[in-house]
Structures are given as structure tokens and as C-alpha cells.
């Protein structure tokens, strides 16, 4: 499989520069090419401006900015791109010009160089006819702003090889992108429903059904977004919406471009979105607009599902990550239910005299959040819910159980690898689930979920197979509890590990108080759970919480079997960690907070810092956590105090105040 190290980006405009920036941020060498140096200079200046904004927001240091910029090499000579493993075209949407570019590149790039287009409009298969090796040609559709938006659509042409496709999947992970796969069809997946969504808003305005402010306000609430369709068109360019919709018209009458949209583009003006703060919406107006805009969305998405243009989960993910919709189209369909969705879609289809799509049935709405891949004698289970940081809920836990049980029973599998997609391995449990059940006084649902989770984790822990966890990012709470079930834990350098439960009014309930102590000892387990300290990969390795640090590119060498899994070795603690271990072994957290502690070699100032950290935690959660660690029974012992902890005022306060400073009452 082709490994990507050096990337060429042709086109230094807004999109091309942003794509180059993202790759440079991830450590790749990037050749940014354009016709004239002034365009390259402008592109790099734009990149620097975005990065400097990141410095002000403390996302980057000035040193990091300079390192990123140094990864970008500007060139007006296309021949300089022959050193690239991957070249991405990001020029304006003109088929003939794109085709001419690829014919030129094809003359001098090596045979194994992958060529990709960032087109949002044209057929990948048709563009691939411009090159002599169409099997090395693929679509990579990035979304604005490409340095910040994590979504990329991978589109296979008719002749794109499996090797090229797999290389782009791996590369997307290494480049910090969440990839979805779509068929080579106009609009691919996301624009196929998003652009008609914009177009339908224009039609409703033209028909006098509502004003711009009414339509934007209703859509913002319905889809959980910060800007409505008209504000979005203003932000991205009204002509872009017109151009994109024109490419979709062949799908049927409902896709016909709005006459009002054409007129607006002809004026050269943005939409007038003033008065958003004064709009008053009636319930009747909400129903009229929702029926129409949801009708359009559900209609198109049902067509996409019927055509199998992408998977259900990728369709939903595209909206939530790429468009930043808080509620994806499948989430909304599940919320409204099959009968109501059918009513809305049927009305929309009748409006345009079109057939109701076959994909309208609820059986098409099931989403796969845990994926399984078999690679020789290795099984790779991936937590694949990046739009929600792979958070654990009932559905995810059931899918994990099912996939793990499948491979655990197979004689031909000797190694099971668990990892995650996106920025997180697993960023804990789904907080909404806890909050909803506390508020509805159905704590038994929390107990049932935790009990089931304990059984699933025990199955993983007890497996006779070699279980390896590769932490690809955040591992918080339940995520680290899952990781601790493995025989070997590896982590990429950017991984972050913490047990934040006592900060939000609860305690680790999926083995965190027990398996942590088994791995690093009671003292360090108390330190981790009671302080909630966030550890990077380096510190986690120092205390033996993980077994090794690997580079992102190495993840796939372990997955493919090219590299052997390292042997777990015993960690020798440094003096610093031995002192912290001793402090927590000899003292309760209350003794440390009160100052009445037995100390070894830690200076008083650092102990005060630890005390101040623990002082703001939820007292009952702290008491229960410490007691569970000290008693050292087994993970199932954590079930005994679930009802007690989730019925406290502190639990509800903490779980509904994530990221905020709160004062716990100890009730």
C-alpha cells in the first residue's frame, strides 16, 4: 500500500491553501503550486493569518506556527510535484481546465503517485479518463474551512483500485480527517442533500411561505445549527449554491434550480438577513416550513440510501461533521418516526410529482458505530462514532459486544486490536444518557447499562486472545476503562488520558477503580482517579498506564501485521512518581486536603496543588472512589454504589455543568 509522506496541492486559493495548511499541521511536507508566485504568496499569507489567530486562542505556539509554515514549499513549476506521493487538485470548478491539468501531471509523475481531485461537482470516473493510470485516481472532497473541518469524502471512480482507496483511508486518518466513502454520483453524499436544502429555502421564500428571517430561524432550531440557509449562502457565496444545484438538476423536478436563486446571483448581492433578533414565529409557520424543508431533506436522503450512494452512518456523519448540524438527517428521521417521515416525504413527492424513494423505511436507518475488519489472523475493531467522540451508550456497547464476541469465538483469530476513529479512542460515556435518566428518575436504566458494560468489558478482559488497544486520541473515563481490559495498550503521541468522573459528580463505574489499581498500583490509581489529572502519552508511559508510544503511521503497520505487537514490560517508576505513589498510599485524600498527611519527598507547594485540585471535586464521588480502590475487590464491586451516587444532587449538577466551574455541596 502506498504510504503518503509528501503531498502536492495544485491551487493556492481559499480551499487549496486550507488543505495545504492542514497537511502541514500534521507534519507532512506540502508543495503548494499555482500559476504565479503572487497567488502562492497570498495563499501562504492566508495560512499564516489563520495560524496567528490560533496563537491568540492558545491553540498554537509561535514556534509551532513557524514549523507549520516551514513544511509548505511554494512552487510555480508543476514539474516540482514529481517528488510527491499524492497530488490533490484544488482549482476552480471547470471540467476542461481540471482535465487539462491532470493530463499535464500524468506526463511526469511517477507511476505510483496518487492523483486526486477536490471537485464537488464532477464525475471522478470522467475526470480519471484524463490520466493513463485511472486506478491511481480518486476523489477527495474537503469541506470549508479545510484546515478546521474534519470531514473528507473519499470517492472511488469506476477504475480506482482497492489499494488506492485503502491508502486514502489511511492517509485521511494520518491527516486528522474523518473520512466517509461515497459513490461517484453528482453531489456525492453531503452536497446531494445540503445543496437542495439551500435551494428549497429559496423556493419557499419565492412562494411567499415565509420570510428569510423566519426560514433561517426555524431551520436553525430544527437542525441544531448556528446559521440558517440564507446566512450560510452569504458566508460561502451565493453563486456557489447556484452552480452546485445546477449539477443536480438531472435527478428530477424537485432539484430544479430556484428562479429566485438565479435572480439573486444576477444581482451580485448577498441575501438580506437583517432583523434576526426581532423575528416572531407562529406554531403554524413552524409546521409549514418544517414540513417543506424536512420533506426535501428526508426525500433526498432516502434516495441516497436507496441508491446505496453511502452508508447510513456516513450520511448522518457527513451532516454532523461536515455541515456541523447538531442533528443529522438520520437522527431527525429516527426522532420523527417512520409514519411521520412517510407523511412528510409523500407530501413533498406529490408537490413535485415525483415517486416516493424506496429508502424511506425505518429499516434503512440503522447505524453501525463499531466496525470490524479481518486482516489475516488479526481482527480490528474500531469505535467509529467520531461525531460524538466515540462516546459509549447502550447502542454502541451492544455493537462492541457483538463484534468482539464474533472474533473471540473464531479459531483463526489470535489477536484483536481495538482503536478509534477521529480525535478520540473513546471520550467516556454518553453524558446525555445519564442526565436524561436522572431527570426522569429512571436510575435503573443507568444501573442496567453499567452492569451490561461491566459484562462486556469482563469478556474482553478474560479473552484468551491477545487483546491490543491503540489509543488514537482522547481516552477519558469509560474509554480508558475499556483500554484497561487489554493485554497491551499503545498510544500515539497526541493521546490524552484522564478519569474526569469525580469532577462531574460520579465515580468510574466500568472497572476504572479496579483495573487501574491492578495496572499501576493503588497509590497511582488514587492519584489518577481522585485528581482527574490529564496525562499525555509520555507521562502515561512513565507510570506504566500504557505500554508504548507509536507514531500514527505505525498504527497501520500493527493493524496489517507488518509489525509485531511489542511485548509488555514492567515499568520502573522514577523518584517523582514513587513519591506521588507513596503520598497516596499513605494518606487519604481528606488528609492531603487538610494538611494532616504523612509525606516523603514531595515539597509542600506541590502537595498544596494536589490538594487544591481535589478540594473542588464532588465529595461523595471522592469518598466512593477512594473506598473502592482501597477495598480492591473486583470491577463488579463498582455496581454497589451506583444508585447512591446517581441520586445525589452533586451528580446532576456535575453532569449538567460539563466544562463549567461548580461548587459541590456533598449532597
- Strand 474-476 vs strand 424-426: parallel, antiparallel, or unpaired? parallel
Is residue 388 part of the annotated active site? The answer reads: no
Beta carbons of 216 and 228 less than 8 angstroms apart:
yes
For residue 536, the cross-strand partners are 496
Q: How many H-runs (helices) and E-runs (strands) does the chain carry?
A: 29, 18
- In angstroms, what CA-CA distances link 319 with 95, 197, 214, 324, 398? 27, 12, 22, 6, 24
Residue linked to cell 469505535: 383
Q: Which of these is catalytic: 33, 99, 118, 120?
A: 120
Q: Does the annotation mark 191 as catalytic?
A: yes
**Sheet strands (E) in 234-377:** 370-375
Supply the Cα-derived Rg of the chain in whole angstroms: 27
* DSSP E strands, 171-229: 178-182
Return d(Cα 60, Cα 53) in angstroms, integer: 9
Catalytic residue among 89, 118, 121, 153: 153
Q: Spell out a b/e string for 240-278, using b for 16 or more CB atoms within 10 Å of the CB, else e.
A: bbbbbbbbbeebbebbbbbebbeebbeeeeebeeeebee
Is 503 designated active site?
no
- Helix or strand (DSSP H, E) at 288: helix 283-307
Are 76 and 33 in contact, with CB atoms under 8 Å apart? Answer: yes
Catalytic residue among 89, 99, 121, 141: 141
Q: How many CA atoms lie within 13 A of 361 on its CB side?
A: 4
Given 149, 191, 421, 437, which residue is catalytic? 191
Reply yes or no on whether 141 is catalytic. Answer: yes
Q: Between vectors from CA 570 to CA 567 and to CA 576, what angle results, nearest 5°?
A: 135
Residues with a known catalytic role = 120, 141, 153, 191
Amino acid at each position: 500500500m502506498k504510504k503518503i509522506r509528501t503531498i502536492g496541492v495544485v491551487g493556492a486559493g481559499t480551499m487549496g491553501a486550507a488543505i495545504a495548511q492542514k497537511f502541514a499541521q500534521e507534519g507532512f511536507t506540502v508543495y503548494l503550486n499555482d500559476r504565479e508566485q503572487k497567488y502562492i504568496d497570498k495563499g501562504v499569507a492566508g495560512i499564516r493569518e489563520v495560524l496567528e489567530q490560533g496563537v491568540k486562542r492558545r491553540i498554537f505556539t509561535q514556534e509551532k506556527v513557524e514549523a507549520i509554515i516551514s513544511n509548505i514549499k511554494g512552487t510555480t513549476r508543476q514539474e516540482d510535484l514529481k517528488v510527491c506521493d499524492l497530488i490533490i487538485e484544488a482549482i476552480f470548478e471547470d471540467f476542461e481546465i481540471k482535465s487539462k491539468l491532470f493530463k499535464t501531471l500524468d506526463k511526469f509523475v511517477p507511476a505510483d503517485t496518487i492523483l486526486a481531485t477536490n471537485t464537488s461537482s464532477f464525475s471522478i470516473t470522467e475526470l480519471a479518463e484524463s490520466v493513463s493510470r485511472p486506478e491511481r485516481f480518486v476523489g477527495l472532497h474537503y469541506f470549508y474551512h479545510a484546515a478546521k473541518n474534519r470531514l473528507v469524502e473519499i470517492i472511488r471512480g469506476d477504475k480506482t483500485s482497492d489499494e488506492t482507496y485503502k491508502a486514502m483511508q489511511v492517509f485521511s486518518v494520518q491527516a486528522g480527517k474523518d473520512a466517509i466513502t461515497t459513490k461517484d454520483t453528482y453531489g456525492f453524499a453531503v452536497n446531494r442533500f445540503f445543496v437542495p436544502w439551500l435551494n428549497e429555502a429559496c423556493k419557499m421564500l419565492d412562494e411567499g411561505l415565509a420570510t428569510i428571517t423566519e426560514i433561517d430561524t426555524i431551520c436553525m432550531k430544527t437542525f441544531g445549527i448556528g446559521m440558517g440557509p440564507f446566512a450560510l449562502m452569504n458566508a460561502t457565496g451565493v453563486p456557489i449554491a447556484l452552480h452546485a444545484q445546477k449539477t443536480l438538476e438531472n435527478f428530477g423536478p424537485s432539484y430544479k434550480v430556484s428562479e429566485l436563486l438565479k435572480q439573486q446571483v444576477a444581482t451580485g448581492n448577498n441575501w438580506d438577513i437583517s432583523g434576526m433578533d426581532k423575528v416572531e414565529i407562529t406554531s403554524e409557520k413552524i409546521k409549514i416550513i418544517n414540513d417543506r424543508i424536512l420533506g426535501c431533506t428526508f426525500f433526498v436522503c432516502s434516495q441516497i440510501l436507496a441508491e446505496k450512494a453511502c452508508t447510513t452512518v456516513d450520511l448522518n456523519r457527513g451532516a454532523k461533521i461536515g455541515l456541523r448540524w447538531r442533528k443529522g438527517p438520520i437522527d431527525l428521521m429516527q426522532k420523527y418516526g417512520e409514519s411521520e417521515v412517510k407523511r412528510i416525504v409523500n407530501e413533498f413527492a406529490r408537490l413535485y410529482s415525483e415517486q416516493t424513494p424506496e429508502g424511506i423505511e425505518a429499516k434503512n436507518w440503522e447505524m453501525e458505530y463499531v466496525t470490524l475488519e479481518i486482516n489475516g489472523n488479526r481482527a480490528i475493531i474500531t469505535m467509529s462514532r467520531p461525531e460524538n467522540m466515540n462516546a459509549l451508550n447502550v447502542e454502541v456497547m451492544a455493537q462492541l459486544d457483538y463484534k468482539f464476541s464474533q472474533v473471540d469465538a473464531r479459531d483463526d483469530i489470535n489477536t484483536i486490536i481495538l482503536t478509534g476513529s477521529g480525535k478520540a479512542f473513546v471520550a467516556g460515556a454518553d453524558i446525555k444518557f445519564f442526565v436524561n435518566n436522572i431527570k426522569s428518575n429512571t436510575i435503573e436504566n443507568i444501573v442496567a447499562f453499567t452492569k451490561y458494560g461491566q459484562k462486556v468489558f469482563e469478556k474482553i478482559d478474560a479473552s484468551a486472545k491477545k487483546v491490543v488497544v491503540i489509543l488514537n486520541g482522547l481516552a477519558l473515563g469509560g474509554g480508558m476503562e475499556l483500554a484497561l481490559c487489554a493485554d497491551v495498550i499503545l498510544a500515539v503521541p497526541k493521546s490524552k488520558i484522564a478519569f474526569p468522573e469525580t469532577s462531574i459528580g460520579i465515580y468510574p463505574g466500568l472497572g476504572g477503580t479496579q483495573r487501574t489499581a491492578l495496572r499501576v498500583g493503588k497509590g497511582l490509581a488514587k492519584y489518577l482517579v481522585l485528581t482527574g489529572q490529564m496525562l499525555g502519552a509520555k507521562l502515561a508511559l512513565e507510570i506504566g498506564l500504557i505500554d508504548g508510544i507509536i507514531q500514527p503511521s505505525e498504527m497501520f503497520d500493527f493493524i496489517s501485521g507488518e509489525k509485531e505487537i511489542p511485548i509488555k514490560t514492567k515499568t520502573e517508576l522514577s523518584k517523582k512518581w514513587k513519591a506521588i505513589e507513596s503520598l497516596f498510599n499513605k494518606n487519604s485524600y481528606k488528609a492531603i486536603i487538610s494538611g494532616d498527611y504523612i509525606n516523603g519527598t514531595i515539597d509542600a507547594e506541590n502537595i498544596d496543588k494536589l490538594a487544591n485540585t481535589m478540594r473542588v471535586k464532588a465529595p461523595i464521588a471522592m469518598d466512593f472512589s477512594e473506598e473502592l480502590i482501597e477495598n480492591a475487590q473486583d470491577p463488579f464491586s463498582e455496581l454497589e454504589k451506583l444508585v447512591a451516587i446517581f441520586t445525589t444532587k452533586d451528580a446532576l449538577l456535575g453532569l449538567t455543568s460539563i466544562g463549567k466551574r461548580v461548587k459541590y455541596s456533598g449532597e
